[in-house]
Amino acid sequence: MSAAPVRTRNAPDADLDGRRRRGLDNKARIVAAMLDMVRDGELAPSAEQVAARADVGLRTVFRHFQDMDSLYGEMAVVIQGELADIMAQPFRSPTWRGRVLELIGRRATGFERIVPFQRASAVNRHRSKLLTARHDMVVTLSREIILRQLPAEVAADRSLVEALDLLLSIETWSRLRYEQALTPKMARETLERAVRRLIGDEPTR
């Protein structure tokens, strides 16, 4: 009994699959180049710079991204992903004060990874509706995370909520790390001191 014939993909299909793979690879390289440049301190890289870093042609960049706005939007996706990770972590403390203090450590870790993208976003936000919308979403999510940890009577204290929202924002972390040139450890300790003064010490019983 002869073996069943082996079905092979025809040449046009194989060529199409190869082009798709190359296209996906180029897109990933472009995004990685953009993010690497921002991490290295280039807050507003041009399409030409991104293309050179990714080792692709300028036309390839705009074949995958309609404009630089959509490429900058990748930064916002990174920021939202980090915030989602923060939201997904369960709290250990049974008290609202303890949970607020836990947020400082969580945000210190997350913000340290994404603050370069936040700074780049701030530079380019004035000319990008996408970045503005993404920023507004991040601000809303950050505030909601805080409010979820507060009992109703504490959440009703508007000035306290606004102060916490400010202290635990990525903008404050950016200011401490860059403008005030604090180390991550010093920045975290500064925030903990300020928040403890604001919300008071944990009750002993």
Q: What is the pLDDT of residues 130-159, one digit of tens each?
A: 888 888 888 998 899 999 999 999 999 999
Residue 2 has pLDDT above 60, yes or no: no
pLDDT bin (cut points 50, 70, 90) of residue 205 is very low
* pLDDT tens string 61-96: 988 887 888 887 776 777 777 777 777 788 999 999
Judge contact between 60 and 112, C-beta under 8 A. Answer: no
Range of the structural domain that residue 115 is part of: 68-205
Instruction: Note the pLDDT tens digit of each residue in 88-112.
Output: 788 999 999 999 999 999 999 988 9
Do 52 and 136 sit in the same domain of this protein?
A: no
In angstroms, the CA 205 to CA 192 distance is 22
Indicate whether 204 pLDDT > 50.
no
Distance CA 143, CA 193 (A): 20
* Mean pLDDT within 168-188: 96
Instruction: Tell me whether residue 1 is in a domain.
Output: no
Q: With respect to residue 72, please indicate whether it lies within any of the assigned structural domains.
A: yes
* 196 shares a domain with 113: yes
Instruction: Give the CATH number for residue 42.
Output: 1.10.10
Residues 24 and 56 grouped into a single domain: yes
Q: Smallest Cα–Cα separation from 201: which of 192, 22, 176?
A: 192
Q: Is residue 133 part of a domain?
A: yes
pLDDT band at 194 (very low <50, low <70, confident <90, very high): very high
C-beta of residue 113 within 8 angstroms of C-beta of residue 34? no
3-27 per-position pLDDT tens digit: 555 555 565 555 545 555 555 688 8
In the chain, how many domains are there?
2
Encoded tokens for 200: 């008071």
Which is more confident, 129 or 55?
Answer: 55
| Residue that is written with structure tokens 């004035």 in the block | 126
pLDDT at 180: 97
In this structure, are 116 and 198 located in the same domain? Answer: yes
Q: Is the domain of 138 the same as that of 60? A: no
pLDDT-based confidence at residue 202 (cuts at 50, 70, 90): low
Residues 41 and 136 in one domain: no
Nearest to 147 by CA among 191, 89, 100: 100
pLDDT at 4: 54
Query: Are 35 and 104 found together in one domain?
Result: no
